[in-house]
Structure 1
């Protein structure tokens, strides 16, 4: 449908159900790394569950409540970004991401999320964009900082994950703040 260049061989494209095999192969390559902080990797353990996960986001997109995009590096799917929540009535959405090791350290997530936030603010008129990250996920926290987001607080031990309870940080950027950040 479309591909947006992220530079350095990176592209942002829709991640749709027909890509289930490619998505599953990507998750299998990065399963342990991806699952350090998010449960995403447990949602796709075989082709049926991978297709079902992608279909759930196709349905969210059709309902205008969420969207899912893949990040390809030199033609290989290495991660993705999403609107986990998209509430146009309230003007609030939540963006998120994941990567396998081959995609890390290149700025791909930061550039991809910029595309999503630009679209949400300028095309859809969203007022508030949220980002949630485990306090120990320093890479995700750094993305929020690079995006000019404000750390609003920590929900202590709020996310049970892999037998431990993680502290979750809430970050956000408001539309006017985003526009000012983009001008800099």
Structure 2
């Protein structure tokens, strides 16, 4: 297990495991409408068993080295998370994402946690390209990509239907050399 402090405001990045199912479900229930504005994350987790199943699917991805899920705790309470939706060390690519309940929003938690994930992916695993995808309507998510120094690669117009409306999907990325250069500038 790990708990990585994300600052001095009581925020931590921790592993999110199947045994967290009850806490995870309570978290989703608190933020279900907020989380579901732009993404269907957790929509099928409606009871402890289905929450455990979702968490187990990411534990299986971590075991296969193809993805992973990490929780964001604020003062000991689960308020969101970050994840590797896809992780391909052989090709040197991954896709990251996030979700939050209202109690975690507006605090920079995702940006801080994502820096930890991207540092690890680039420095420890040799990932060359980190990708971020978000609906064009999801301004908070797009703003995180910008704060992380990602560049917009393009927009897939009306790429997928969500809640009865076809969504434009923005694709953002940062390459390992860009990430290292930006980090070096901020460490000076």
TM range (shorter): over 0.9
TM-score by length of 2: 0.97
Structure 1, residues 84-138: CA drift from partner, whole Å, max 9, x if none? 0000110000000000000000000000000000000000000000000111111
Shift of 1:12: 0.2
TM-score by length of 1: 0.99
1:6 is the counterpart of 2:6: yes
| Superposition CA RMSD, Å | 0.6
Write the distance in 2 (CA, Å) between the matches of 1:63 and 1:100: 28
Residue 109 of structure 2: aligned partner: 108
Residue 168 of structure 1: aligned partner: 169
Write the distance in 2 (CA, Å) between the matches of 1:71 and 1:142: 19
1:23 is the counterpart of 2:28: no
1:141 is the counterpart of 2:134: no
Q: Which runs of 4+ in 1 moved over 3 A?
A: none
Write the distance in 2 (CA, Å) between the matches of 1:160 and 1:9: 37
Shift of 1:41: 2.7
Any gaps of 5 or more consecutive residues in structure 2? Answer: none
Residue 58 of structure 1: aligned partner: 59
Would you say how many aligned residue pairs link Structure 1 and Structure 2? Answer: 184
Write the distance in 1 (CA, Å) between the matches of 2:60 and 2:24: 17
Aligned pairs for 1:140-159 (under 5 A) are 140-159=141-160
